[in-house]
Amino acid sequence: MNVELFSTAQTHFKGNLHTHSTISDGMRDPKEIADAYRKKGYDFLAFTEHYTFTWLQELNQPDFLILPGIEAGCSAPGPYQIHHVVGIGGADIQTEHFQNFDHSQLHGTTGAQTVVDTLQEQGYLSIYCHPVWSRQSFAEIAQLERFQAIEVYNHNCYLEDHTGHASYYWDAFLRQGTRIWAVATDDSHQKAEDFGGGWVVVNAPSLTVEAINQALLQGSFYSSNGPAIEAYGVKDGKVYVRCSPAVSIHFVAFERRGGSFHATGDRLLTEATHTLHGDEKYVRIEVVDERGRTAWSNPIFF
Ligand SMILES: [Zn+2]
Ligand SMILES: [Zn+2]
């Protein structure tokens, strides 16, 4: 199979899929936040207020799009445990939904599945958030189904207490056959400098809710907290990536092992290829820059 899964040669848009404002427990008002992201070069933003459906279309600009969003969830057995799921809505979202998301009867992983299914019924795609911060073991969430993505990186959790990284959980889902994408997000609350620390770059034909939602569903994007990916895909039996200067490029594969490339001397890497053996179930790419920051491709499934 020859396929390019992401390319900056195609129309692409940068966005943050997880943000709180004064509507829930953020510190700044939505307009201030939208302006700050637009100034930073972002193209789209989702306000994902706790249990409150939000679609602030009045903040749309010709070059800046607000997506419908919510962060829902439920309690979990342990005193520090919780489940949080971000929902990103499509263009057909009915604005009366979720004004009063009732989670009082939901509990544990069964409750989390109900949240995912309720979001899906209403036309949202679901992202399982910050599992390390939520104190969930993989075993506790392994049975979750019908969600589209997991937060491989949550910037606010990273800043707060180093609970923002979750690539182990992502691979664990992929290795048991649960096909999900990964996203990096800010989860900005404006209590710290938490703007612009985790984002996605999406290949979509236009900056509309429908096009971005569709691209997220299809996995036509990559995630990052630093480096940029120019293109990745498969050509003539090899997985390839082109990227901003990197100290390491990893091809993470399963079940057969993948491979890593590392810069030598002061010559940084801007591309790499990995030869497929033909029995890989998936390959995904991580690009690491000199500051230890990472860009994550979505998995290529075989
Ligand atoms: Zn959360
Ligand atoms: Zn949040």
The tens digit of pLDDT for each residue in 160-183 reads 999 999 999 999 999 999 999 999
Q: For residue 75, how far is its CA from the centre of ligand 2 (angstroms)?
A: 15
Percentage of residues of the chain with pLDDT beyond 70: 98
Q: Which pLDDT value is given to residue 283?
A: 98
Q: Which pLDDT value is given to residue 92?
A: 82
Q: Which pLDDT value is given to residue 193?
A: 86
Closest ligand, as measured to the CA of 155: 2
Closest ligand, as measured to the CA of 26: 2
Q: What does the pLDDT look like over 1-33, one tens digit per residue?
A: 899 999 999 999 999 999 999 999 999 999 999
Q: What does the pLDDT look like over 45-95, one tens digit per residue?
A: 999 999 988 999 999 999 999 999 999 999 998 999 999 999 999 888 876
Mean pLDDT over the full length of the chain: 96
Q: Which pLDDT value is given to residue 104?
A: 85
Q: Which pLDDT value is given to residue 77?
A: 86
Q: What does the pLDDT look like over 108-135, one tens digit per residue?
A: 999 999 999 999 988 899 999 999 999 9
For the chain, strand residue ranges (E) read: 3-7, 12-16, 44-46, 65-67, 69-75, 82-89, 124-128, 149-154, 181-185, 199-203, 221-224, 229-235, 238-246, 248-254, 259-262, 269-275, 282-288, 294-296, 300-301
pLDDT at 97 over 60: no
DSSP reduced 3-state for 184: strand
Please, what are the domains in the chain?
10-221 (3.20.20.140), 229-301 (2.60.40)
pLDDT at 265 over 90: no
265 burial type by CB count under 10 A (0-12 exposed, 13-18 middle, 19+ buried): exposed
Closest ligand, as measured to the CA of 187: 2
Q: For residue 3, how far is its CA from the centre of ligand 1 (angstroms)?
A: 35
Closest ligand, as measured to the CA of 134: 1
Closest ligand, as measured to the CA of 19: 2
Q: For residue 22, how far is its CA from the centre of ligand 1 (angstroms)?
A: 15
Q: Which pLDDT value is given to residue 139?
A: 97
The predicted model gives 104-108 an average pLDDT of: 91
Q: For residue 154, how far is its CA from the centre of ligand 2 (angstroms)?
A: 9
Percentage of residues of the chain with pLDDT beyond 90: 91
Q: For residue 174, how far is its CA from the centre of ligand 2 (angstroms)?
A: 24
Exposure on the CB side of residue 43, measured as CA atoms within 13 A: 16
pLDDT band at 100 (very low <50, low <70, confident <90, very high): low
Q: Which pLDDT value is given to residue 164?
A: 98
pLDDT at 96 over 70: no
Q: For residue 85, how far is its CA from the centre of ligand 1 (angstroms)?
A: 7
Closest ligand, as measured to the CA of 74: 1
Q: For residue 33, how far is its CA from the centre of ligand 2 (angstroms)?
A: 15
Q: Which pLDDT value is given to residue 123?
A: 87
Q: How far apart are CA 21 and CA 34, in angstroms?
A: 10
Q: Which pLDDT value is given to residue 98?
A: 56
